[in-house]
Structure 1
Amino acid sequence: MPPPPMPPAPSGPPAPSASGPRAPAPATVLGLRARQWMVVAAALAGCYLTASAAALTGSWALMNREPTNAELRQAALAEVARRWQVWPAGRIFPERVAYSRGGGESEFATRVGIAPQTGCDTAVDQEYALVLRKHGCRAVLRATYTDQLQGVVVTVGVAAFPDQWRADKAFRELPANADPDRSGGVRPTVRAAAFPGTAAARFTDAARQERGTDRGGPYVMLTASGYADGRPAEVTTKKHPARPFVLAPQVARGIAKPLSTQALPDCSSREWRC
């Protein structure tokens, strides 16, 4: 009798091996596993925080330290160069300026008006304008004064430059002080500023008799002098023995000194940039 047939083997997945299922290999990026990347990220974050803290500490120390002597000097120079913009016109051109004719007695020149025009081209003659523009002239402020007897008039021009070095170059290139040119009036200089209803009402460019130049810090001082009656320079045949225009350079220096004198820096004030 033949043996009974063997039952068919059950279908389904193959039985696992005795060693068990094999886990998939961990993924790597640039040779580093995820945990290693976490360690690297943590280290970089620590370095970033340390660097940020150091930068903040350095910035705080920089902002709260005392300015150096060089910074204070630079701030003082910058403050002087900005005065033509931030000072009131009446502070730049005081109402009265002392002068002397000699002998120790002082007189006072009186301001009769301040010109509204400040252009470097329009406030001076063309020969002067070329020099001023060449060295960075920013503005020319003008005011007119009369002597104590109101017989002599002087227009003072303040040419403002970015710094004292450019002002000095312009000053050295301007024509030297000179007597009138008898053939056609005074040589090129600052334009006369006349003011109706004052002792300077007749003081026009044709009435300019003498000119002068000086410098104070970043400012070049220009003067044009003449008589209050407006007589033209070409009709004046000789220099007056009493030196009627002696007040002009003194008035210019009286304006230039406070305008160009450096003050002690005050970094808490709006006028200062420390």
Structure 2
Amino acid sequence: MTTEAERVRTVMPPPPAYPPSPPPAPPARRSAAAAAVCAVLGLGLVAGAAVGGRLTAPPSRTAAEAAYERGGTLWSDVPVDELFPRTVHAPDAGPGGASRDWTRLGVAPDGDCAPGLDPALAAALRPAGCRRLLRATYADATSTTVTTVGLLITGTDRAGMRALRSRVAAGRLDTRTDMLPRPYAPPGTVADRFGDAQRASWWLAVRDDLPLVVWSVTGFADGRTGTPLQPAARAVAPDAASDVAQAGLGHDARALAARIESAFRAAVRR
């Protein structure tokens, strides 16, 4: 005769047999796994830092900014023959598209701007500052006319040059007869009598992509005075009939300044 406890044990099934828990991983395996996790986390942090660095680093200079900066110091390390070539040829720069040629007579010592400009013009350009004034004088192929070309290197930024260009344009400073550039007369040359009284035509241009004001002033080589002044912008007009226009002085002033500016720009790009 079975007891009640024996009947319960007979009816109830035995408990399920669960698989045993895996043994703990050896210490070396746990270390390798931890190292892998740390490596993944470390790569993520490095990548994040790199991205953050790219987002917060200052932007690199553009080509225009680099050229502007280079233009402000070019005078200090470029040979003078690169800025003021010994000879200049312009195949169609004269009246009626005639060819023009010039020979350099001398280069003035570089210095401040005051000696190269009338006081009123120097005052008008002063807000942009003056790092250096570079000047050279040329004679045409017949030694009839002489022209001084100036490169005024300013000390302002591009915004300052834009403001200066606007002031010059608004005031028509490039046509004011009381605001002229001054000649440089190399001694012992055909230009040695080229002074303020011999000025006949001139050109002035403010550039805002470089710290540069380009100008030129021209006259007759024989020392004559009393020639009525006429800005190059007017002397090169097709209907201009003045002595300055007929002699091509306006063409000399404009074309020679343009060639010297081109030489300056070429030096900036090198």
TM tier relative to shorter chain: 0.5 to 0.7
Structure 1 residue 255, shift from structure 2 partner: 0.8
Structure 1 residue 76, shift from structure 2 partner: 3.0
Alignment check: 8 A CA contact 1:223 1:249 kept: yes
1:30-77 superposed Cα distances (whole Å, 9 cap, x missing partner): xxxxxxxxxxxxxxxxxxxx9xxx8xx98xx99xxxx97645543233
Structure 1 residues 262 and 111: alpha-carbon distance in aligned structure 2, compared to 1, 3 A threshold: closer
- Matching of residues 249-260 of structure 1 within 5 Å: 249-260=254-265
- More displaced 10-residue stretch of structure 1: 113-122 or 74-83: 74-83
Q: 1:156 aligns with which of 141, 149, 163?
A: 149
Structure 1 residue 196, shift from structure 2 partner: 1.8
Does residue 166 in structure 1 map to residue 171 in structure 2?
no
Structure 1 residues 97 and 134: alpha-carbon distance in aligned structure 2, compared to 1, 3 A threshold: same
Does residue 176 in structure 1 map to residue 173 in structure 2?
yes
Structure 1 residues 171 and 200: alpha-carbon distance in aligned structure 2, compared to 1, 3 A threshold: farther
Q: Counterpart of 1:229?
A: 222
Structure 1 gap segments, 5+ residues each: 1-49, 180-185, 265-270
Cα distance in 1 for residues equivalent to 2:266 and 2:162: 16
Q: 2:74 aligns with which of 68, 78, 83?
A: 83
Matched AA of 2:259: G
1:206-227 superposed Cα distances (whole Å, 9 cap, x missing partner): 1111121123432111111110
- Matching of residues 1-274 of structure 1 within 5 Å: 70-99=61-90, 100-161=93-154, 162-174=156-168, 175-178=172-175, 186-216=177-207, 217-234=210-227, 238-240=242-244, 242-245=246-249, 246-261=251-266
Structure 2 gap segments, 5+ residues each: 1-41, 231-241
Cα distance in 2 for residues equivalent to 1:166 and 1:158: 17
Matched AA of 1:150: S
Secondary structure in 2 matching 1:94: coil
Q: How many residues align?
A: 201
Matched AA of 1:252: A
1:190-218 superposed Cα distances (whole Å, 9 cap, x missing partner): 11111122111110111111121123432
Cα distance in 1 for residues equivalent to 2:228 and 2:206: 31
Matched AA of 1:136: G
- TM-score norm. by structure 1 comes to 0.62
Cα distance in 2 for residues equivalent to 1:159 and 1:230: 26
Cα distance in 1 for residues equivalent to 2:115 and 2:245: 33
Cα distance in 1 for residues equivalent to 2:262 and 2:229: 32
Cα distance in 1 for residues equivalent to 2:132 and 2:263: 18
Query: Kindly, what percent of the aligned residue pairs are identical?
Result: 28
Cα distance in 1 for residues equivalent to 2:229 and 2:67: 45
Greater C-alpha radius of gyration: 1
Structure 1 residue 150, shift from structure 2 partner: 0.8
Structure 1 residues 259 and 199: alpha-carbon distance in aligned structure 2, compared to 1, 3 A threshold: same
What CA RMSD, in Å, does the superposition of the two structures yield over aligned residues? 3.4
Q: Counterpart of 1:32?
A: none
Cα distance in 1 for residues equivalent to 2:260 and 2:184: 17
Matched AA of 1:208: R
1:161-206 superposed Cα distances (whole Å, 9 cap, x missing partner): 2444433433443443338xxxxxx532111111122111110111
Structure 1 residue 136, shift from structure 2 partner: 1.7
- TM-score norm. by structure 2 comes to 0.63
